[in-house]
Amino acid sequence: MDIPVYNLEGKQVGIYTVPDELLDVKINKSLIHQVIVAHLSNKRQGTHSTKTRKEVRGGGRKPWAQKGTGRARHGSIRAPQWRGGGKVHTPKPLDWDLKINKNMRRQAIKMAWIDKIKSKSVVLLDRLEFERPKTKQIHQLLKALDISGEKILLLMREFDHNVYLSARNLPNVFMLPYYQPSTYDLINAEKILTTCDAMDRIVKERIAI
């Protein structure tokens, strides 16, 4: 499959070819869904917690006598119906981790890449480097490529400080090293912007496995 290659002015300067035999894979949507659910679940901290009646400080003494006062009977000022008392059915820390084996995760990433390539959601540049950091430069590039209004995952072969400083203020651009995006990162992005040299590594390490 051929992918157009653009320069920093947004003009097509070549073609990048991904062998068709690498893309001839049936997309297992249920596997991708399972891996994404596990990814999002594992991001949950599960640290929310409030105190029950036995954990609230104080309330060891009975507030008043059981009988003879004309008031309702109480055993502690830390009962749930009292102000400052413990909570009923309170949330406690939970472990939300879901286990996904390495092969499932690797296959899901491969299928996500294949799906993005087939849907023409991968945009390639011959190079991506700026002489100085300026957000206007990368904004003009995205506009020239006609992807400025979409959610973009920018993958870099090597870290470039000027590119990072230029793109970090754009709310719709998310930057990662080429080897780092998860299945969720790939599926969540509307367009994937990277360079030909990074794509070489992606094809070798993520698709041709």
Chain-wide mean pLDDT for the chain? 95
All residues at 6 or more sequence positions from 187 whose CB lies less than 8 Å from its CB, including other chains:
32, 36, 112, 115
Q: How far apart are alpha carbons 136 and 26 in whole angstroms? A: 41
Give tens-digit pLDDT for 90-138.
999 999 999 999 999 999 999 999 999 999 999 999 999 999 999 999 9
Instruction: State the Cα–Cα distance between residues 124 and 196, nearest whole angstrom.
Output: 6
- Residue partners of 184: CB distance under 8 A and separation at least 6: 35, 36, 39, 40
Q: What domains can you pick out in the chain, each with its CATH number?
A: 2-45+96-207 (3.40.1370.10), 49-92 (no CATH)
* pLDDT one-digit tens code per residue, 53-78: 999 999 889 999 999 999 999 999 99
Chain segment 152-199, per-residue pLDDT in tens: 999 999 999 999 999 999 999 999 999 999 999 999 999 999 999 999
CA–CA distances in Å: residue 5 to residues 126, 173, 197: 6, 20, 11
Specify whether the CB–CB gap between 142 and 123 falls below 8 A: no
Q: Give the Cα separation of 140 and 167 in Å (integer).
A: 11
